[in-house]
Amino acid sequence: MSSDQPASASHVLEEASRRRTFAVISHPDAGKSTLTEALALHAQAITSAGAVHGKGGRKGVTSDWMELEKERGISVTSAALQFGHRDHVMNLVDTPGHADFSEDTYRVLSAVDCAIMLVDAAKGLEEQTRKLFSVCRHRGVPVITFINKWDRRGREALELLDDIENVLGITPVPVVWPVGNAGNLRGLVEASNTEQMRRFTRVPGGTHKAVEEKLTAAEATAAEGEVWETALEELELVLSSGPGWDPEAFRAGKISPVFFGAALTNIGVGLLLDAVVDLAPAPGPRPLAVAEATRPVESDFSGLVFKIQANMDPAHRDRIAFVRVCSGVFERGMNVTRAASGRSFATKYAHTVFGAERTVVDTSYPGDVVGLINATALRVGDTLYAGKKAEFPPLPAFAPEHFAVARPKDISRSKQFRKGISQLDEEGVVQVLVSDRRGDQAPVLAAVGPMQFDVVLHRMEHEFSSPITLDHLPYNIARVTDAEGAAVLNRARLVTGETLTRRSDDVLLALFGDKWQMNSFVRSNPDVKLETLIATAD
């Protein structure tokens, strides 16, 4: 559709209704990247899964493209996968799998309409899962629960549901129930059809979809006997004691549909994928920064920059900005405006992405994720729009708890050093702070978790050809202050080193060694502004 023939509102609404944009959240090692691959496999977007033998053999995982990820067998950055399923366009945004990268996960959750909460059958609700669920609740993102690894020994199904309800304060509503205990999975039964059991034959290594057959209730009784009867009794017990399925309650975050399966062996994954189509919401109106204002889906184009990543393609050393289309139609080459600056630019180089692979995109609709190549003016959290102005609320920064001074190992490569640090700051890999004491030649890197420093060290050496050293600083608390507070802090000189730093967005951060030091300063200076950033424990 050409720009001189704008899409009608009904056409945009129709296309938006076919989109499902979702993320997978979990604690590390719950099987998140394995599930991501299994979903793509069931949608026939890939022919075989890379998750063959867990971490040790996950060299080919589609969504883990960074060398550090392949070496360690974990996801440390978000990746976008787009594929089709049942005449719908599925936009799956994979998230970092380690707690140290919570800030990146938070940004991803600002760009999706639904989340799959992955729970390990043996470990239950773990710390990072609880934190990420809280973020979903805060952002109003409905959650589908998938209890994974049911082919291994684990806890009782009823016990896991009790934990979800008691710990998270959300009512689990089974859509699929396991036949057999964890470690003895005989099949699955759907709550909507208890006259049928789905039995699966695993494919060695989980590289392809498990072979599925459907048994009638009589056949299931003959084959499984008491195990089948127990599964039906448990399912009836849970359903009779709960509120039942309610789409409005799901979207309001009051209930969570629950599925059981095993991502590594591709059991139950097809049912989960169908549920995303059937249950997850399509893109809807998005709140603007102006109080009580929203951007309707069918209005002029608008998009949110939720991720920036450099060097996904080592051969080109370029930079890609991931944009969630929020309203209207995106057309490659169109002129859009960056709300923060009011300046416009042409979107000549636009791609859809599948892990590290790219395809030129001409047209995208609400819910789609577009990669803008070498859009150097963009920053994480930017709003892009065409036509009537739109600006979405800013993405808040997390409170860093780890600090280190960065210096180049080779002074002759200072240009590459400055470029690399600036790029990592723009991507949000770390927060980059500058102090008057050290200047921008030795910036202070601030991180939520120490593994972020490992990523910085790796990328500075391998992508920017400027190996660095990190001198860790004795701080673990950062608070936002103002010019008056800065003057007081400079006079106080609580400890030797940087007590006051400036972030690249000109926000002033006061650094403290611990809460006792900070409380002592507050008692002596009660009028000084010290505001908390978003806490990772929220």
- Binding-site residue positions: 94-98
Burial label for 190, CB within 10 Å (0-12, 13-18, 19+), is: middle
CB 361 within 8 A of CB 350: yes
Alpha-carbon dihedral sign for residues 21, 23, 24, 25: negative
Please give the single-letter amino acid code of residue 108: V
Residue 168, phi then psi, degrees to nearest 5: -95, -15
Give, for 188, the enclosing helix (H) or strand (E): strand 187-190
d(CA 122, CA 325): 38
Q: What 3-state class would DSSP assign to 100?
A: helix
Alpha-carbon dihedral sign for residues 472, 475, 476, 482: negative
Q: Tokens for 414, please give them.
A: 């200072």
Strands (DSSP E) along 112-170, which ranges?
Answer: 114-120, 143-148
CB 170 within 8 A of CB 125: no
C-alpha distances in Å from residue 537, one per residue of 55, 128, 342, 401, 511: 27, 9, 36, 12, 19
Write a three-state SS string for 120-136: ECCCECCHHHHHHHHHH
Residue of 159, 154, 158 whose CA lies nearest to 177: 158
Listing DSSP states for 307-358 in one string gives EEEE-SSTTT--EEEEEEEEES-EETT-EEEETTT--EEE--SEEEEETTEE
Which residue numbers belong to the known binding site for GTP? 94-98
C-alpha distances in Å from residue 115, one per residue of 306, 339, 386, 446: 16, 28, 29, 28
Q: Tokens for 394, please give them.
A: 């800013």
Burial label for 2, CB within 10 Å (0-12, 13-18, 19+), is: exposed
